[in-house]
Amino acid sequence: MIFDIIFILVAAVFYILVSILVATHVVPAKALNGPHRLGPWTVAIPYLLYVVVALRGALLIVRRLQAVFASFVANEPFARDNATHLRAIWVTLVVIEITRIVAWVFAHALTTVFVSGAAVAVPRGLANPIDLVRLFLIFVVLILAEVFRQGTQLREESDLTV
Amino acid sequence: MSIRVSLDKLLADRDMSLTELSGLVGITLANLSILKTGKARAVRFSTLDALCRVLGCQPGDILSFDVESVHSDSGAGTG
């Protein structure tokens, strides 16, 4: 819980600081154009927001996966919490994907308003509004969560069969 | 669940402990305890068969259906 709060605070401060520095041209937007090609500030700022959310989501997913693997090691694959962990994972993936789509919308809207004419470099993560591979992954994890939920029910029924 | 298990009464009538019954029927004490306390979700016929042989009774002596609890339960799902 404390870790979550610290992470959100640090991420928020970092994000706001970079946004201000880039928007006021103290840090030129092209300084963000390292190997990842963030593009102008109209793209970089929404992309950074998406990156922060995605990083936080990734940490959460890793923690949940650790708990799931721990139950496998303990030879209890259908432990009661595993369905909850997998549900948390697919919900986190949905949140990350929604953030990505929102970032894409903002990036294109801001670019249209503030950057006229020429083609703008866009990071790979914001190339397309709809990514079928990501949606498929979310769907697979959703189904896996349901399988584990039903598996847990069956295991509990079996344990209570005399 | 409206099925009642009368194992404790049968054991008392025969002056037998749950541990002794466990050894005679070949069912673990933990499982017998689950059955006795009404936490079991299902009972195998093989278990019922072993209990009836050892206790010398009918399945109806061990299991009964509590009609009153059906009327008092509102919206109870299947177990």
Is A153 in CB contact (< 8 Å) with chain B? no
Averaged over successive runs of 10 residues, the pLDDT of chain A (162 residues) comes to: 71 73 64 55 82 90 94 90 94 94 88 70 77 92 94 90 92
- Would the ipTM clear 0.95, i.e. be above it? no
> Amino acid identity, residue B73?
D
Sort out which chain B residues have CB atoms less than 8 A from A155's CB and list them.
Answer: none
Interface test with A, best of B5, B33, B41, B62 (most A CBs within 10 A): B41
Residues of chain B above pLDDT 90, percent: 71
Residue with tokens 């401060």, as numbered in its chain: A13
Chain B positions touching A160 (Cβ under 8 A) are: 34, 39-42
Q: Looking at CA atoms only, how far is residue A156 from chain B in angstroms?
A: 9
CB contact under 8 A, B44 and A161: yes
Whether A75 and chain B come into contact, CB under 8 Å, resolves to: no
pLDDT confidence of residue A119: 63
Listed as own residue / partner, the contacts of A107-113 with beta carbons closer than 8 Å and 24 or more positions apart are A107/A42, A107/A43, A107/A46, A107/A47, A110/A42, A110/A43, A110/A45, A110/A46, A111/A40, A111/A42, A111/A43, A113/A42
For residue A140, give how far its alpha carbon lies from the nearest alpha carbon of chain B (Å).
30
| Residue in A with minimal Cα distance to B25 | A162
